[in-house]
Structure 1
């Protein structure tokens, strides 16, 4: 999970009969004025109580909201760089709010995080304003949806580790190096990105942990005037939410953790299980392609899997031209194939990309890779790829040297014959990190918290279903909802059973039956 593949980057794919026709780009510019008055709320009793006196000035700050992005509200939150030194250096975090569509029925604020780690939560909250994109209309009517870019990401003191050209090369390199030269390149980047984070980001590089981001969320809760936190976290956002619940169990309101991460697994075991998850998703996609008839990959599951693997090998030997000035390298091809596996809705786009690539044109797969890495036409509009590395490796710097990868290949190839070697090499990724966390590791149980809803999808590629089962067990008050289906996360993914359970929890506080199967 923390090595080879980011869990969920905010993407919007517009599909046509031949694949992706356009990308919905979330606006980043502020509107200069808005004639409406900025809505205000009255803090709930105890909302501004700080966990210790030295933090009182952060908990009592008042957010100054301005209209932005054509109807949203934007502000900044001040927090300590280091919570051990609250009187020291501070940083500012970007916050975006989509006001409740029906102010007269407003329940409160619903904080969101899309995962990554590294994806900007402000963009996620912005996109959530469209019914069905993240939440259904009744939830949008009743809640202000609030996203705060976690520290080190988006517009919240973003970490910097590589130049855009270096990041292009880092993503394009062979993620399964099979020559001495490729191994040298791969291990060179392991050192370079770790060194770059420390050199370019300074003290910040040591203070972008999940624990610190969770502490920031409690400051946000306070400044929103909420005595408890209502929260929806997807993918890595479940780890952030579970960490919050463990730190502040008495502040847990209605928490939903969707596409859950098993926070108790070792990095190696997480990576191994995620390799198996993507293999399962790939097999489901290929079988669906074959069943539909006239599949571009062949007329059987095994033939289709072999053709995908051969395409990666061929692209490694010779990158494919595209309609632009960049070729499709093997790293781009891997990420271009992986991204559409996140949702069955994207399978037609993957078919179009594979058909084009098998015909000698890598344009679509490169586009998918760029979407995965949050790359625009002229570079990177956010730092999600660098933040993913900085946060993941600061939380858990465990790694193995390149010399130990061959001994691990057997386990990973058994878990994923198609992608296993990539994930095995990913075990080296944090070997070059130079920053050191000041936060100790935690056994997350959230003892004493109100019920926490955990959602798992049976064929989720990025966060395998077993992870949701495990997290629900680890959380003292965990309540599991299971969705039988494909794709990453379960809410608003086509299951009325899941949607109605989550809506009932957010709107009425009705706790779903533990073990609900949808």
Structure 2
């Protein structure tokens, strides 16, 4: 499937208004907002899987048992030594809920950071216990054989083009150190040592949190790619999550919620597409103005080129000559840019779910070049594999009128269901939130998100089956949980929760396409919206809103640097590309175009499976990726085909000997599965989630 046909009509050049004078008070207010104490955020966004060895809560991590302190000082030392260690560029501390990078206006950041060290290892976050009990019995160290999560930060120049500038960005980093830690008294051990190579990970977005990704996937990543030999490090790119400054352009997430339903309606349900685009455009103008008022010139310094330079700073701080890593989704855009800017520092880099960064230089290109696969994933994958799995594993495959369900019939049923929702939403009631309704716009967005992760398909199938049968409860439960940031049932935090850094993603997308030559008048955008939703009813609307706001970026900012060169440089080591046949966001076409341009500097795995990136597990893909990371071994052919081990709806049938039956899943099981899906989706495409 090719690109959508972009309108060719031109309009008179639009004179951009000059940026308004920035109010000093607004700047101060913005910095305060972006730097609000974030201890409340830590447990939600940064440490979703903390393992406190004694089961203590965050609030209990205050007292220090004497046996863990070797001597009493203002900066206590644990039985594992002093943290941060001298000359550590990342200032690593064992992770606890308090280890959040200091604010930029902290006059003694290193001292403040060191003061967060908790010497009690029961409060630290350790890896899984060793598989061999003998490992723990051979030493007095109760944590022997366990990896450790280390939290730190790295200060980098805010503006790389200003050599004399003193402004900085403070990047949050989380590393899983596979060797764990060594007791201070134990000098004859390999524990506590950095691995010879570090796997750097970045989940995408733009706006995805690498520290959250490390918490969620670091142990599995090092096991999958290096047999637990190499450390794994994730970082929050500039402007994201707990890096400083974080870029959010609403004072509170609830303020963003307030406008969400009005400005994100789907084209299929609005009476006048032009009126809807006008409303969205006005709100986008207001958001960009707010970003300027709150963050000033920061929009100049968030382009992918600057993020690539940050990656090189991380490489240098690790003391490694080259970058090795596993970069996913937008992370592959960072990796492509890095490889082009620093070709002599490219190590073993996997680009999984491959973007093609040339597309992002086009106006709206981040949106309209990514529409190839979503409807195919829906038809061949969600519906087709449902029919293949049968009624035991997929609710939509239950016989109708005593007849087996056929794919064409199921597709017609779903088309009728969505058309009915476009004409009239379905009312529902939830004890937790009272009256509500299931709308076409919300359900299509939820469906698009589900195409990222086939593990969510049994729950989506049950939801659509219930809706078709007149029961909207499950749909309301799932969609209500993904529409809003504000939860009225949540206890009031002791400190204000800062807003999510959601607008950062838009600023990156717009910075990377700021000099596009396509028309920029509203008629052009209106025509683009029609083309995108016609080509892809599932993804077109969401992707359009991702890029519409760029109309107003140039009013306030011109990026300090963007990369506009070629992608065919001779690299120190070739890279390994992985592109998926049914990826709803980064089509296989991207990987093949990138391979064609990079030539002998790349190899491509065509991963035949469902979902975004190679999450649809394949022993073939994993073995090739592992050989590459461990030994630098590349596939012989330019393109190698690998196939997923199992099919959707029946995951586990081969690996575990059984697959979960749809009939056995209760409502709470579906809600739990959907929430897990949303947590993953927040890493790869935060813009698909107005809230969690």
> TM tier, shorter chain?
0.7 to 0.9
**Aligned mates of 1:189, 1:118 — CA distance in 2:** 20
Counterpart residue number, 1:431: 551
2:578 partner SS? strand
From 151, 157, 163, the equivalent of 1:80 is 157
CA distance in 2, matches of 1:304, 1:344: 18
- Residue by residue over 1:445-482, the C-alpha shift from the partner in whole angstroms, topping out at 9 and shown as x without a partner, is 25121211111111111100110111222235111111
Match of 1:318 in 2: 425
**Larger CA deviation: 27-36 vs 285-294:** 27-36
381-390 vs 443-452, which moves further: 381-390
Look up the SS of the partner of 1:484 in the other structure.
strand
Partner of 1:152: 239
Q: What's the counterpart of residue 604 of structure 2?
A: 480
User: Once the 2 structures are TM-superposed, how far is the Cα of residue 260 of structure 1 from its aligned partner?
Assistant: 0.2
User: Counterpart of 1:337?
Assistant: 447
| 1:55-454 matched pairs, under 5 angstroms | 62-69=89-96, 70-71=125-126, 72-86=149-163, 87-101=165-179, 106-131=195-220, 134-137=221-224, 139=226, 141-156=228-243, 157-162=245-250, 163-172=252-261, 173-176=264-267, 178-180=270-272, 182-265=276-359, 266-268=362-364, 271-283=367-379, 284-293=381-390, 296=396, 299-305=405-411, 307-308=413-414, 311-312=417-418, 314-315=420-421, 317-318=424-425, 320-321=427-428, 323=430, 324-325=432-433, 328-358=438-468, 359-361=471-473, 362-366=475-479, 369-370=482-483, 383-397=500-514, 400-408=520-528, 411-413=531-533, 415-420=535-540, 423=543, 428-433=548-553, 434-445=556-567, 447-449=569-571, 450-454=573-577
1-structure distance, mates of 2:240, 2:178: 26
Q: TM-score, normalised on structure 1?
A: 0.81
Q: Partner residue of 1:456?
A: 579
Alpha-carbon deviations, 1:21-67, whole Å to 9, x = none?
A: xx99714769667856379999xxxxxxxxxxxxxxxxx97221101
Shift of 1:416: 2.1
Decide which of 609, 613, 637 is 1:489's aligned counterpart.
613
Q: Secondary structure at the match of 2:625?
A: helix
- Contact kept in structure 1, 2:606 and 2:641, CA below 8 Å: yes
* Structure 1 equivalent of residue 53 of structure 2: none
SS in structure 2 at match of 1:136: helix
Cα distance in 2 for partners of 1:452, 1:210 equals: 19
Q: Retained in 2: the 8 A contact 1:249–1:446?
A: no
SS of equivalent to 1:142: coil
Give the Cα–Cα distance (whole angstroms) in 1 for the partners of residues 294 and 327 of structure 2: 30
Counterpart CA distance in 2 for 1:302 and 1:409 is: 28
Q: 1:302–1:275: structure 2 CA closer, same or farther, 3 Å change rule?
A: farther
1:223-275 deviations in whole A, cap 9, x for unaligned?
11111111110000000011111111111111110000011223555533422
Q: 1:428 to 1:234 in 2, by over 3 A?
A: same
**Is the CA contact (8 Å cut-off) linking 1:159 and 1:387 kept in structure 2?**
yes
Q: How far did 1:314 drift?
A: 4.9
Residue matched to 2:10: none
- Alignment deviations for residues 181-240 of structure 1 (CA, whole Å, 9 cap, x no partner): 544432232222222222222222221111111101111111111111111100000000
Q: For residues 165 and 438 of structure 1, what CA distance do their matches in structure 2 show?
A: 32
Cα-to-partner distance string for 1:322-348 (whole Å, 9 max, x where unaligned)? 634365554432321111111222211
1:192, 1:90 → 2: CA distance?
A: 27
- Compare 221-230 and 104-113 and name the one that shifted more: 104-113
Q: What is the aligned partner in structure 1 of residue 653 from structure 2?
A: none
The C-alpha deviation readout for 1:480-505, integer Å capped at 9, x for no partner, is: 11111211112x53211110111111
Aligned counterparts of 2:566 and 2:560: Cα–Cα separation in 1: 18
Indicate the residue corresponding to 1:500 in structure 2.
623
Task: Please give the secondary structure, in 2, of the residue aligned with 1:230.
Answer: strand
Counterpart contact for 2:580–2:609, Cα < 8 Å: yes
Structure 1's 400 and 136: CA in aligned 2 closer, same or farther, altered over 3 A?
A: farther
Q: How many residues align?
A: 475
Cα contact 2:300–2:557 (8 A) shared by 1: yes
Measured in 1, the distance between the counterparts of 2:442 and 2:47 equals 21
Indicate if the aligned counterparts of 1:274 and 1:462 stay in contact, CA closer than 8 A.
yes
In the alignment, the residues of structure 2 paired with residue 320 and residue 391 of structure 1 have an alpha-carbon distance, to the nearest angstrom, of 38
How far off is 1:146 after superposition? 0.4
Larger radius of gyration: 2
Rate the CA distance shift 1:367–1:39 in 2: closer, same or farther, 3 A. farther
TM-score normalised by L of structure 2: 0.62
* C-alpha separation in 2, matches of 1:40 and 1:448: 41
**1:123–1:366 Cα change, 3 Å:** same
Please tell me whether the aligned partners of residues 425 and 438 of structure 2 are also in contact (alpha carbons under 8 angstroms).
Answer: no
Give the secondary-structure state (helix, strand or coil) at the position aligned to 1:93: strand
Deviation at 1:88, TM superposition (A): 2.4
After TM superposition, the structure 1 = structure 2 runs for residues 506-517 of structure 1, keeping only pairs within 5 Å, are 506-513=629-636, 514-517=638-641
> Judging changes above 3 Å, is the alpha-carbon distance between structure 1 residues 238 and 322 closer, same or farther for their aligned structure 2 residues?
farther
Q: Measure the CA separation in 2 of the matches of 1:141 and 1:235.
A: 23
Q: Which runs of 5+ in 2 are unaligned?
A: 1-44, 51-57, 69-77, 97-124, 127-148, 181-189, 491-495, 643-692
- Aligned CA RMSD, in angstroms, stands at 3.5
